[in-house]
Homo-oligomer: A and B are copies of this chain.
Amino acid sequence: MNTPEEFNEYRSRMNEKILGQDNKVIKRIFNLDTNAYASGKVDVQTKEMIGLACSMVLRCDDCVRYHLGKCHELGMSREQVFEVFSIATLIGGTIVIPHLRRAAEYWDNLDNQ
């Protein structure tokens, strides 16, 4: 799951299956996910950094991968991403470090695509 291609393929395939079930509450949560990160009084780049940091402190590798992909698309630099990592690791503690390792590896994989 650590290459962007594998991650995105599995994510898309399973999202389709889940939405195909036609559960109204789940469908709306998925829709909200799109709305919440759209530009508003807070810009898209900041929202993606917020999403990335929250994913790290909650220690969700797949969520980290998703937001890293978005940050990469938006042209954020490695230095910026590592500053977000540093705040998340400080807030969440050393328990975040194993997720930081996988995040650093995934960022390289995004660069090497």
Question: Number of copies of this chain in the oligomer?
Answer: 6
* Inter-subunit contact A29/B94 (CB<8 Å): yes
What is the total number of residues of chain A having a CB less than 8 Å from a CB of chain B?
64
Question: Contacts A14-B104, A32-B25, A46-B46: A95 and B93 contacting too (C-beta < 8 A)?
Answer: yes
Q: Taking the complex as formed, is A23 at the interface, i.e. its CB lies under 8 A from any CB of chain B?
A: yes
**A19 → chain B, closest Cβ, in Å?**
10
Given A90-B33, A95-B92, does the pair A59, B57 have CB atoms closer than 8 Å?
Answer: no
Assess whether A74 is interfacial by the CB under 8 Å rule: no
Task: Known pairs A18-B101, A25-B36; list 8 more (Cβ under 8 Å).
Answer: A18-B100, A23-B86, A29-B32, A37-B87, A49-B50, A54-B95, A60-B95, A90-B94
Interface residues of A (CB under 8 A from B): 10-11, 14-15, 17-18, 21, 23-26, 28-30, 32-33, 35-37, 40-42, 46-47, 49-51, 53-55, 57-63, 77-80, 82-98, 100-102, 104-105, 108
